[in-house]
Amino acid sequence: MDQIISESRKFCLNSSVVSHTPLIVRTAAGDEFELETGAITADETASLLNSLTEERDVAQLASLLPTRSTEYVHTLVDHLAVHGIIRPVVPSIGRTGLDALLEIEDLSNRLLYQTLYRNEFWINCSNATKPGDIPQSVIYGMVIENYHFLFRESYFDAPVLSYVPNTDVRLAMNEFFAEEYGHDELLLKSLNQIGISREDLAHTVPLPQTMALCNSLAYWSHNDPLFFFTTLGILEGKDIRQDSFLDAAYRIGIDSDFLKPVKAHSDINLQGEHGSLTRKIFSKIPVVDNETMRRMRALTHLFIELYDAFYSSVWQHYSSTGELLRRIDKL
C-alpha cells in the first residue's frame, strides 16, 4: 500500500467501543467492526483507540506502539481511517463572524491597555482634578482635531455604504452614517465659543497623525471593509468613552458652554449605541476565513498604533504650541 499518511497528519476517534471481549466498535456511520488480535493485540488496539479521544498525529500514535515498525503503524492508521473507525482532523477553514470579532477585540483591548491607555493624553485626563492639570490648549486642541476627523468621516464611511456582500451589513452602515452625518457641525459650535469660525478651520490643516488615521481608515474602507468594520467599535467609544475626556474637562473647570456641544455628540454615540455597531455587523457575517483573520490581526496592531499616535500627538502638540490653529498660510 502506498504511504499517503504523513507523520504530522492528525486523527481522532470516530467510533465508540461497544464490547471489549471481543473488541467491537461502532462507527459514527453506524457500522460495526470486530477488531481481532493480529500483529497487535486487541488490548493494544483498544488503548490506541482510547488515546484518540484527543487529536493525535501519526508520530504520537507510533510512540504508543514502540515495538512496531513505522510502516506497520501507517498501515494500521490507514485501515482504521478507511473503515471510518478513526477520522482525519481537518483544520477549520474559518469561524463565525462574531467568534472572529471576539478574538480581534481581545487583541485590540490588550494593545490599548499596553499603549493608548498609558499615553500622556489619557493618563493626564484620568489624573486631572483641578484647573491647570491639563493645559486649556490641549482641551481645545482635542476638539479641533476631532473636528478635522469628523469633517472627513465621509472619506472612510462612504466606501462601505455600498457594501455588496451583505445586505444587512449595508443597511446597518447606512443607518449609522445617517446618524453620524453633520457631527462636525456640533464640534464647530464649541469652537465658535472660543472665536474659531468655519472659515478659520477651512484654512487650517490637521495634525499629521489625525490625517494618518483618516487616510488609513479610508484605505481600509476601500480595500479591506471587513477590517474597517472592526475599527468602528473602538472609534465610536466601545472602550474609550468620550466621557473620560469630557469628565476631565469638566473637573478642571473648562467653560460648560464650550463643552455642551461636545457632550451632545458623546450622548448621541451612547444613546445610538454606536459602540456596539461592530458587534451588530459581525453577527450578520456567517464566516471569516483563516487568511482574513491573519490579516485582521496584523492590521489591528497598526490601527491601535495609529490611534495611540492620534491622542499622543494632541497632547504633544497642543501642550506646547503658542497657536491653536495650524494655518496653511503660516506653515
Shortest separation between residue 275's beta carbon and Fe ion, angstroms: 8
CA neighbor of 135 nearest in space, from 265, 252, 33, 213: 252
Number of residues that bind Fe ion (CB under 5 A): 5
Rounded to the nearest whole angstrom, what is the least distance from the CB of residue 277 to Fe ion in the complex?
A: 8
Which CB contacts under 8 angstroms, 24+ apart, belong to 127-130? 128/248, 128/251, 128/252, 129/251, 129/252, 130/251, 130/252, 130/253
> Cβ 97 to Fe ion, closest distance in Å?
21
Strand partners, 132: none
3: DSSP letter:
-
- Assess contact for 272 and 264: CB atoms under 8 A: no
Residues of span 25-84 touching Fe ion by CB under 5 A = none
- CA dist 33 to 16, 26, 80, 300, Å? 11, 7, 10, 51
State which residue, 74 or 274, has the beta carbon closest to Fe ion: 274
Nearer Cβ to Fe ion, position 115 or 278? Answer: 278
Site for Fe ion in 252-291 (CB under 5 A): 269, 274
Quick check: helix, strand or coil at residue 302? helix
Minimal distance in Å, beta carbon 272 to Fe ion? Answer: 6
* Shortest Cβ 265–Fe ion spacing (Å): 6
Tell me, residue by residue from 213 to 242, as one string, x for binding to Fe ion by CB under 5 A and - for no binding: -----------------------x------
d(CA 197, CA 144): 11
- Residue 15 or 269 with smaller CB distance to Fe ion: 269
- Of 164-203, binders to Fe ion (CB under 5 A) are 180, 183
Q: Which CB atom, from 11 or from 303, has the smaller least distance to Fe ion? A: 303
Closest CA to 277 of 228, 310, 222: 228
Q: How far is the CB of 188 from Fe ion (least distance, A)?
A: 13
Q: How many residues can be counted in the chain? A: 331
Buried b (16+ CB within 10 A) or exposed e, 125-144: beebeeeeebbbbbbbbbbb
Q: Which is nearer to Fe ion, 269 or 313 (CB)?
A: 269
Quick one: 94 or 237, whose CB is closer to Fe ion? Answer: 237
Between 92 and 271, name the residue whose CB sits nearer to Fe ion: 271
Q: What is the dihedral of CA 106, 110, 116, 119, to 10 degrees?
A: 160
Instruction: For residues 108 and 110, give the distance between their C-alpha atoms in angstroms, rounded to a whole number.
Output: 5
Distance in Å, CB of 8 to Fe ion, minimum? 48
Binding mask 130-169 for Fe ion (x = CB under 5 A): ----------------------------------------
Binding site for Fe ion (CB under 5 A): 180, 183, 236, 269, 274
